[in-house]
Amino acid sequence: MMGWTDRHCRYFHRLLSRNTLLYTEMVTTGALVHGDVARHLRFNEEQHPVALQLGGSEPADLAHCAKLGEQWGYDEINLNCGCPSERVQRGAFGACLMAEPQLVAACVKAMVAVVSVPVTVKHRIGIDRTESYDFVREFVGQVSEAGCKVFIVHARNAWLKGLSPKQNRDVPPLRYDTVHRLKTDFPHLTFVINGGIATSQQMADQLLALDGVMLGREAYHNPWMLASWDHDFYGDATTGVTRESVEEQMVLYMTREATRYGTPWSTIARHMLGLRHGLPGARHWRQVWSDHRLRDESPFTVMQNAHAANQATTRSAQAAPA
């Protein structure tokens, strides 16, 4: 989700669900040790609960960055051991770390020692084409002994050679039973499943056996699905949120961000382009919000134009002969 779940995206998603735990995009330890900490870690208080996902493999660096994350107010520190991209592999972190469970355990232990918030790990069920349950069981066993109690498991292997990151989300077969078996073998640990889950019903089915479900790209492309989660999974009263109210709040947010940081509205608007996914007129609404020729207009004016385009398309469709 690098380049996707930035603080603007998370602000948008929080408008849709008050309770869902949100994750940052992966932030490398190098970016925090040598770069602009505020740029990477700044977020709005409204985003809680929110977890900081780190990428790295040096225990001391990860401990330093975990401490920074806690100081900046994050509710959880997550270590990424699931990203299969070659660029991440060259940095010796991500999914390739699963081959070194002792190193991952040392990283977790170093982070646990310096923060009071939970330290969690996101990982695959294996690497390359070897489908060995013992491999992932040993990984979870060693890492849990170092102090990790929560494992977010993408239920596919990561093929480190020959597949792009996109192909790694589709080609390796899903094996949900492997994650269920981990829960059986480690009932005292928390397991959250990820991968191939696209509907609230599928989420509910997984929650019969596991402790949680993580959605990434599906939630990004079809964000309105989040609007039912507080009611369906948290027993929260209906909030009365509508697509229109969310869009209006995003326009107010764009205005504040432009005033405070000089952030162009288009930088923020790109994250909400799926808000009307599947509705009549959605394409024209999306086109207006994506139109960089309007970049000098206020976001309020862009919203008015988007609504006009949406309504014109809807009226045209209703007037068409059957």
**Hey, which residues are catalytic here?**
83
HSE of 89, CA atoms in CB hemisphere, 13 A: 15
Eight-state DSSP code of residue 18: S
Taking CA 244 as the corner, what is the angle to CA 241 and CA 247, rounded to the nearest 5 degrees?
100
Q: How many residues does the chain have?
A: 322
Residues 194 and 213: beta-carbon distance below 8 Å: yes
Residues 150 and 124: beta-carbon distance below 8 Å: no
Q: Record the tokens describing residue 2, joined without a space.
A: 């690098």
